[in-house]
Structure 1
C-alpha cells in the first residue's frame, strides 16, 4: 500500500465526495505483526501506573480528605501537562484543528468532557482504594471497564469504528463482573465492601467512555495527543474544584494531616495514565487498549497487595478473580481479521481497523 498522498488533481470517484482531512501521522501497515506490540506494552505499563495511582490517592485521601486529595491530584496533573505543553511543537495547529472539527460538528462538545470521568475516578480512588485494598479496588474498576468497553465499541464512540457486541464479548464482560464478586463478597464486612466496590465499578465504566472520547479528540487534532490530555485534566480539575466548594460550604474542609511525600505524587501518575490511553487507543482501539491497561492494573495490584500487608488468604481470592478476569478479557477481545486497507484517497483510516458491524 503506497503511503504517498493522492494528487489533488485527481477527480473523486462518482458519488463519493472527498472530505477534508486533518494532517495525520501515517499509520503503520495494517496487519503487520509488530504494529500493535508496542502500543499493547504501553497500555500494560499505563495500567500498572493506574494501580499505583489508586494506592497513592487512597493514602492521600486518608489524611487529607477524599475530595481534597482528588483536587490536588487533578490540579497537579493539569499543571504538569500545561508546563510540558509549552515545549511541544504543533500544539497551536492541533487546537486549530480541534476548533474546526467542533465548528464542522464532526466532533461534539461532549467529546471534550472525558476529564469529568477521569476526575470521578480519582475521587473514587481517594474514597475507596484504601478501604478495599489495591487488588479488590482494581478488580472492581476493571470489571466496569471491561463491560462498558464492549458497549462503547458497539456504539462506535471511539476512533476505531463500530464493533458489534457479540454474545461472546458480552459473556466476557459478564465474566469480568463475576471476577470481582469473589474477593468482595468474601470480605469480613461483605455488605460494606460491596457498596464501596460499586463506586470503582462505575468509575471503570466511565474510564472506557473517557478513553473513547479522548481518542476522538486526538483524531480530530491530527493525532496530536496533548489537546485531549489538557482537556481531560482541565475538565477533571473543574469538577473537583466545584465539589470542593460545595463541601466547604456545607460541612467545611477537613484539616489535612502530614504524610509522606509519595502520597502527593498521584497527579504525576495520572499524566502517565491519560497520555498512555490517548496514544494507545489511536493505534489499537478502545477495547484492546482497555484490555492492555486491565492486564497492567491486575498485575500491579497483585504485586502491591503483599507490599501493603494484605493477608495471604485474601490474596488467594484476588488471584482467583484475576484468573477469571484474564478469561473475561480473552472472551471480550475483538476477533476476526483486520479489514483490508482501502485505496489511497478512500475513506478515513479507522484507528482500530474495525469496520461497522465487524467482529
Structure 2
C-alpha cells in the first residue's frame, strides 16, 4: 500500500472516531430516557413493581417477535431447557435477568422522585464499584485484575459522586433511602454481563441471551406483582399513554446501537462515551423537561462529572488487555443497558 493510501486511511479513521464517539454519546442518552419513562410509569401507577412489569413486558414482546422471525434463533431458543439441565455452565448465569429486574424496579420506584440525573449517577457509581469487584474476583473475566491506584481512585470517586448527588436531599431521609435502590441495582448490574455473556456463548446467540434475560426479569417481577394483586396489596392497571410503553424498546435500541458502534470505537472509548451520554442526557432531561418536577442543582452536575471521571479512571486498566472485536461486541450487547 502506498504512503498516500495509508495516510488517507489514517485520516479517514481520525475523522470517523470523533463522529463515532459523538454517536455513542447520543446513544448513551437512551438510558436516561428509559429511566425517565419508567419513572413516570411508576408515578402514574403508584408502584415500582408494576412499572417494571410494563417495561419488561414491552421489551419482551419486541424480542419474541425478533426471535420468532428466524428459524435459527427459534432453534437456539428451544435448546435452552436442555442446556439448563445439562449444567454445562453454572446455574446462576441463567438468572442474570434478575439484575436487570432490580434496575428497572428501582427506576419505577425512585427515578421520578430522585430525578433522572441523581438516579443515573448513583446507578453508574454502583456499577463502577461492582465492575471493579467482579474483575478482582474473576467474575466474567478470564484473568483476575488486582486493585491498583486507578481502580481504587475510580471507586472512591464513584462514592464521592453518589454523596454529591444526594446532598441536596440530605434533610429528607425518605429520599436518601430511595437513592439506595439504584446504587444497589448498580452493584448487581455489574455482574449481569458475565451471566448474559455465558448464556450467549452457550446458546450461540446474543439475541437469545437478551430474550432470556427479559423472560427471567419479567417472570420474577410478574410473579411478585401477581401475588401482591391477589392479596389485595396493590391494584394494577395498564398505563393509558402510549409512550409509557417505550421503556423496554428504548433499552433494546441502546443495545443495538452499542453493538454497531463498538466495532469502530473499541471497549474503552465506547464505555467512556456511553457513560458520558448517560450523565449528560440525565442532566438535560431534568433541566429541559420541567414537567418531570425535578430540579437540577449545581452539586448534581458536579456529582455527574465526578462519576464520569471516576468511570473513566476505572476503565484505564482495561485498555491494556487485548480483546477481540467480536468478544467486545458480545459483552456490550448483553450489558445491563438492555434491561
**TM-score, length-scaled by structure 1:** 0.74
Any conservation in 1 of the 2:286–2:294 contact (CA below 8 Å)? no
- Structure 2: state its 5+ residue gaps: 1-12, 330-339
Is 1:107 aligned to residue 82 of structure 2?
no
Deviation at 1:274, TM superposition (A): 5.0
Q: Which residue of structure 1 lines up, in the alignment, with residue 156 of structure 2?
A: 174
| Cα distance in 2, alignment partners of residues 246 and 46 from structure 1 | 37
Within 2, Cα distance between the matches of 1:323 and 1:274?
A: 24
Question: Is the contact between residue 302 and residue 315 of structure 1 (CA under 8 Å) also seen in structure 2?
Answer: no
1:250 aligned to 2:231? yes
> Is residue 279–residue 308 contact of structure 2 (8 Å, CA) maintained in 1?
no
Contact 2:165–2:303 (Cα < 8 Å) also in 1:
yes
Listed as ranges, the matches of 1:305-324 within 5 Å are 305-309=286-290, 314-324=296-306
Q: Deviation at 1:165? A: 2.9
Alpha-carbon separation, structure 2, partners of 1:338 and 1:255: 50
Return the alpha-carbon distance in structure 2 between the equivalents of residues 339 and 186 of structure 1: 40
Within 5 A, what are the aligned runs for 1:117-132? 117-132=99-114
Alignment match, 1:61: 42
1:152 is the counterpart of 2:134: yes
Q: 1:221 and 1:141 mapped to 2: Cα distance?
A: 29
* 1:270 and 2:251 are equivalent in the alignment: yes
Seen in structure 2, the aligned counterparts of structure 1 residues 247 and 278 have a Cα distance that, compared at 3 Å, is farther
Residue 92 of structure 1 and its aligned partner are, at CA, apart by: 4.7
> 2 CA distance for matches of 1:77 and 1:140?
24
Query: Structure 2 residue aligned with 1:225, among 181, 206, 209?
Result: 206
Change (3 A) 1:320 1:175: same
* d(CA) in 1 for partners of 2:298, 2:75: 51
Change (3 A) 1:203 1:42: farther
Partner of residue 327, structure 1: 309
Residues 57 and 289 of structure 1: is their aligned pair in 2 closer, same or farther, counting only changes over 3 Å? same
What secondary structure is seen at the aligned counterpart in 1 of 2:147? coil
User: More helix by proportion, 1 or 2?
Assistant: 2
Aligned residue among 196, 210, 213 for 2:195: 213
8 Å CA contact 1:215–1:281 kept in 2: the answer is no
Give the C-alpha shift of residue 55 in structure 1. 0.6
**In the alignment, is residue 185 of structure 1 matched against residue 171 of structure 2?**
no
Deviation for aligned residue 1:291: 4.6
- The Cα offsets for residues 244-266 of structure 1, whole Å up to 9 and x where unpaired, read as 02211333433548653212211
Please state whether the residue corresponding to 2:316 is helix, strand or coil: coil
Task: Give me the whole-angstrom Cα distance separating, in 2, the residues matched to 1:36 and 1:112.
Answer: 36
Out of 271, 281, 284, which is 1:300 matched to? Answer: 281
Shift in CA distance, 264/211, structure 1 to aligned 2, threshold 3 Å: same
State the 1:295 CA deviation.
Answer: 2.1
How many Å separate the matches in 1 of 2:83 and 2:22? 31
Aligned equivalents of 2:20 and 2:236: distance in 1? 42
Name the structure 2 match of 1:234: 215
TM-score scaled to structure 2, two decimals?
A: 0.78
Q: Is this contact kept in 2: 1:161–1:350, CA < 8 A?
A: no
C-alpha RMSD over aligned residues: 3.7
Confirm or deny: 8 A CA contact 1:47 1:273 kept in the other structure: yes
> After the TM superposition, which of the residue ranges 32-41 and 65-74 deviates more from structure 2?
32-41
Q: Does 1:261 align with 2:253?
A: no
Is contact 2:27–2:254 with CA below 8 Å preserved after alignment? yes
User: Aligned partners of 1:44 and 1:56: how far apart in 2?
Assistant: 19
Please tell me whether the aligned partners of residues 214 and 278 of structure 1 are also in contact (alpha carbons under 8 angstroms).
no
The structure-2 alpha-carbon separation of the partners of 1:256 and 1:89, relative to structure 1 and needing over 3 Å to count, comes to closer
For the Cα contact (< 8 Å) 2:25–2:278, is it kept in 1?
yes
Q: For 1:37 and 1:93, locate their aligned partners in 2 and report how far apart those are by CA, in whole Å.
A: 40
Distance 2:200 2:22 in 1: 20
> How big is the shift at 1:227?
1.4
Q: Answer yes or no: is the 8 Å Cα contact 2:38–2:244 preserved in 1.
A: yes
Bigger radius of gyration among the two: 1
